[in-house]
């Protein structure tokens, strides 16, 4: 896994270097927004459709969704209890609960699983995210942000879900899969061309999103419990649930790695919208992403030998 993570780290460093060097005067946040929009609206839906159209769906898919949802709920509950006892201000508590609950299942999980375990693992990352994490983010996550932030008039949770192109692609892919429609070679070729760009662009965009200016010592004391939940406690629970369910060892490994991903980047959108502490959330993304480079090989070793 060291070779895989080191290769991915180079792409992350490309994004970090762009933020620092600002080539031709370009702004990293503007470029990152353009990249993530392109990936979110076009490239990722193509990958999702291609993968779920051909992936084996059944009992394993149900368990992937159950374990993913359980991981989110565990993180939310633990963070809520901890930061309530800690008497953390409401807006900061909401930020940290979001950070502890949702992993970066697609933008980092997808490349890690594909590069480490093979192309078959792409469907695990996609199902983990789109069958549980994203729907929960746009329902439970919005409720948490509203409860801890400042209420804003805007679209509800259902409308937010309807505006997720990868989710529509997932529904279409599952429908075609269950209907027994064979992939059309020409269409599959187009989808493959679009999907090829997803992983490098995702990693560069994640690197561009890492915010060193948000790191402060007082914040680190708040972020470390989030890192403990996200990088250690949640994957331990996922590994145990996957084993209890009697899933295939390779699938157990993939699920454990997904659960061990750092903080989801997309959560910063909710922090901005509901006036939570977006800087603190960005710091949590940065810290947990860097720590994940150390903890992911640990989980790979533990899950592989379990």
In the chain, count H helices and then E strands. Answer: 18, 0
Q: Which residue has the tokens 């983010």?
A: 137
Q: Is residue 22, in this structure, part of any structural domain at all?
A: no
pLDDT value at residue 203: 82
CA neighbor of 39 nearest in space, from 206, 282, 270, 283: 206
With cut-offs at 50, 70 and 90, classify the pLDDT of residue 253.
very high
Please, which pLDDT band fits residue 213 given cuts at 50, 70 and 90? low
Domain assignment present for 222: yes
Q: How far is the C-alpha of 252 from the C-alpha of 254, rounded, in Å? A: 6
pLDDT of 137-194, one tens digit each?
Answer: 988 998 999 899 876 555 565 666 677 888 899 999 999 999 999 999 999 999 999 9
Q: Is residue 51 part of a domain?
A: yes
**Residue 196 structural domain:** 2-15+27-305
On whether the CB atoms of residues 155 and 139 are closer than 8 A, the answer is: no
Query: Residue 37, exposed/middle/buried by CB under 10 A (0-12, 13-18, 19+)?
Result: exposed
Q: Please state the domain count of the chain.
A: 1
User: Lowest-pLDDT range, 2-6, 35-39, 185-189?
Assistant: 2-6
Percent of the chain at pLDDT > 90 equals 56
In a domain, 186, yes or no: yes
pLDDT of residue 155: 57
Kindly state whether residue 45 falls inside one of the protein's structural domains: yes
Question: What is the distance, to the nearest Å, from the Cα of residue 266 to the centroid of all Cα atoms in its chain?
Answer: 8
Q: What is the CATH number of the domain that holds 161?
A: 1.20.1530.20
- Domain membership of residue 20 (yes or no) is no
38 within some domain: yes
User: How confident is the model over 68-124, as pLDDT tens digits?
Assistant: 999 999 999 999 999 999 999 999 999 999 999 999 998 889 889 998 999 899 999
Q: Look up the pTM and report it.
A: 0.87
* Domain contains 21: no
End-to-end, the C-alpha distance of the chain in Å comes to: 17
Predicted confidence at residue 151, as pLDDT, reads: 64
Identify the band that residue 1 occupies on the pLDDT scale cut at 50, 70 and 90: low
Beta bridge partners of 103: 263
């Amino acid at each position: 896994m060291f070779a895989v993570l080191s290769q991915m780290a180079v792409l992350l460093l490309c994004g970090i270097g762009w933020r620092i060097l600002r080539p031709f005067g370009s702004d990293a946040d503007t470029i990152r927004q353009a990249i993530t929009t392109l990936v979110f609206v076009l490239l990722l839906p193509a990958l999702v459709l291609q993968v779920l159209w051909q992936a084996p769906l059944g009992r394993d898919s149900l368990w992937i969704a159950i374990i993913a949802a359980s991981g989110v709920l565990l993180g939310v509950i633990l963070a809520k209890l901890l930061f309530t006892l800690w008497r953390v201000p409401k807006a900061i508590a909401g930020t940290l609960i979001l950070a502890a609950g949702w992993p970066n299942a697609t933008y980092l999980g997808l490349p890690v699983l594909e590069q480490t375990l093979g192309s078959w693992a792409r469907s695990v990352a996609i199902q983990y995210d789109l069958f549980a994490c994203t729907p929960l983010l746009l329902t439970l996550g919005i409720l948490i942000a509203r409860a801890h932030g400042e209420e804003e008039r805007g679209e509800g949770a259902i409308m937010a879900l309807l505006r997720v192109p990868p989710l529509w692609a997932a529904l279409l892919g599952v429908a075609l899969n269950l209907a027994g429609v064979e992939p059309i070679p020409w269409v599959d070729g187009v989808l493959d061309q679009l999907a090829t760009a997803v992983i490098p662009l995702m990693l560069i965009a994640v690197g561009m999103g890492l915010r060193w200016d948000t790191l402060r010592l007082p914040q680190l004391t708040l972020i470390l419990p989030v890192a403990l939940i996200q990088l250690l406690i949640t994957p331990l629970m996922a590994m145990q649930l996957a084993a209890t369910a009697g899933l295939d060892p390779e699938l157990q490994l993939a699920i454990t790695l997904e659960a061990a991903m750092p903080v989801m980047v997309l959560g910063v959108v909710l922090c901005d919208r509901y006036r939570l502490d977006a800087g603190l959330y960005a710091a949590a993304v940065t810290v947990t992403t860097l720590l994940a480079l150390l903890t992911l090989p640990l989980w790979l070793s533990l899950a592989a030998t379990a």
